[in-house]
A and B are shown apart, each in its own frame.
Chain A
Amino acid sequence: QKEVEQNSGPLSVPEGAIASLNCTYSDRGSQSFFWYRQYSGKSPELIMFIYSNGDKEDGRFTAQLNKASQYVSLLIRDSQPSDSATYLCAVNGAAGGATNKLIFGTGTLLAVQP
């Protein structure tokens, strides 16, 4: 089982719709969860982070975390063509462990159709 799993997509949504991106992780002790966006040929850039169960909203973006189910998601409301990119889920190591490495999923390609 991969440490962080994402559906590779592509996920295609029409402009103005809600895009839902999902991620599961295997380390039950993970503490911090991040969503990065990566445009083709560019480096990843941070979209949101979440540490506690529940929802966290920032503009058109909402991150959702369910530690019991080991599941984190990103919702993008009012999707725009400029949101078309690969979205990477990243999860850190457990607290107190010898490592704090951040493990990335392989990413979900989102395509917003005008």
Chain B
Amino acid sequence: GAGVSQSPSNKVTEKGKDVELRCDPISGHTALYWYRQRLGQGLEFLIYFQGNSAPDKSGLPSDRFSAERTGESVSTLTIQRTQQEDSAVYLCASSYMLPGQPSNSPLHFGNGTRLTVT
């Protein structure tokens, strides 16, 4: 597809369950970002990938959160033992970025996954 694709678009889960969110970036984009946006709040950085390595995962809120990426393709964000405070929209974005160079390529966002933990 032409844009960043995220699935599922909506996910309702019970507290304590694990969830997996998927992001398919724009073809050829080397960098991939995950952000979290709680209702009425700004975008909270979680992690970014350059290729399949994660130079910065400083935003992951706890060890319940993990992410991986296969090459310069699909990424999955996994939340284990979900809590109600995990409820938010999880946004994925991709951009073309050369390693070691400052990011001057705009991010292209997917439509997000709205996660509700009951």
Contact = CB atoms under 8 A, between A and B. Distances in A.
Main secondary structure of the interface of A (DSSP, over half): loop
Interface residues of B, number: 27
B64 to A, nearest CB: 21
Contacts of A92: 102-104
Interface residues of A, number: 27
Nearest to B106: A46
B31 A34 contact: no
A94 B56 contact: no
B48 A32 contact: no
B70 interface: no
Contact of B103 (A44, A93, A98, A107): A93
B60 to A, nearest CB: 12
16 contacts: A31-B104, A43-B110, A45-B109, A46-B106, A49-B106, A51-B104, A88-B43, A92-B104, A95-B102, A99-B55, A100-B48, A100-B56, A101-B56, A101-B58, A103-B45, A104-B45
